[in-house]
Amino acid sequence: MTLQQETIDFMLLYCQSLSKQVDLSFNLPFKVPLQRKIMEFSITKDFHNVRLDNFLRKNYREIPLTGIFRMIRKGKVKVNRKKKKQDYRLQEGDLVRVWDPSPPTAAKALLQLTDDEKNRINQTIVYENDRLIFCNKPAGLVMHSGSSHTHGLTELIQAHIQNRTFSFVHRIDKMTSGLVMGAKDPATARELSELIREQKIQKYYLVLVEGVLEKGKNHFSLNTFLKKEHDRVIEHPNEERGAKKASSEFSVLERGPKRTLLEARLHTGKTHQLRVQLANIRHPIVGDGKYGRQRKTKTMFLFSQRIVIPSLNIDFSLPVPELFYSALKKL
């Protein structure tokens, strides 16, 4: 018997053994290629126009971004049987195949809400339609789970509406209260995020600051360059060290004996933007324990008060909390 015939006979025996689930993996005269695992994803309208790398990051959160890029570059990810670059925009109906993948990240179970939590969430939701939810976030509640928080407002809303795909499209600090805007599906989230990037969504805040602004200064703008360094945001003179431009517009609403109530409109949305800008002109936000004069405080007087989306014919605002007026008039 020739070596070629011996090889053919062995392969026939190996194939038969697979159907009988017999293990012939010991003492093989040559390496037998194992069947490669393939994970398939059919792209729905929720992920239409999402970048390929972002789609993979969402489904394989344990793999670092460099690993995602390596998978794409080595051809372990194909779209409609063809290699694509990481910035390829997925289309509805595309078939994404991932070779030899780790299991996709399991979806977290939704929270089990108590009756008290359900009632509080009902009070938090101030506007809702088939695509959007606006919430009045209380101070002290984080936006989402993290290393020191098992859950935040995001997880509470997901559980309340029984929808894991719900997400907020902008965030406010833990100690900031007021309006936050969320989307019930990924397509709406991408649409709103794009409007934010194009500055086609207007966001207004109420801010109570220390000190009385001079009477002739009723409207002013601050254009600065900010960069996060460790646990603080620092203002820089320009963009040379990686700082990003931050732009805000302010109007004086009322002056008190020692404080001033401002309306602030954000033109950009950098971390701690209003807090740093106002502190650096020596009018820190009342109650700001990081950038202000008080190191221990329970209330920071920064309130997300109004959101305007002209393209969707939405202009929603909350009334001024009475606490702001009583703190303004304090001697």
Q: Are 284 and 293 in contact (CB under 8 A)?
A: yes
Output the CA angle 222-228-231, nearest 5 degrees: 120
Distance CA 268, CA 203 (A): 10
- Smallest CA-to-CA distance from 158 within 107, 110, 121, 112 is with 110
**Helix (H/G/I), strand (E/B), else coil: 4:** helix
Q: Are 275 and 231 in contact (CB under 8 A)?
A: no
- For every residue of 112-154, DSSP letters joined together read ---HHHHHHHHHHEEEE-SSEEEEEEPTT--SS-BTTBS--HH
Question: H-helix or E-strand containing 72?
Answer: helix 65-73
Pairing between β-strand 177-183 and β-strand 302-309 as defined by DSSP bridges? parallel
Which entry of 53, 94, 173, 288 is annotated as an active-site residue? 173
Q: Give the C-alpha distances (Å, rounded to integers) separating 155 from 130, 147, 173, 178.
A: 19, 14, 16, 18
Question: H-helix or E-strand containing 244?
Answer: strand 244-255
**Helix (H/G/I), strand (E/B), else coil: 188:** helix
- Is 173 designated active site? yes
Pairing between β-strand 202-210 and β-strand 259-266 as defined by DSSP bridges? antiparallel
Residues 212/216/219/222 CA torsion (nearest 10 deg): -70
End-to-end, the C-alpha distance of the chain in Å comes to 105
**Helix (H/G/I), strand (E/B), else coil: 228:** strand
Q: Which residues, in sequence order, are bridge partners of residue 177? A: 303
Catalytic machinery residues: 173
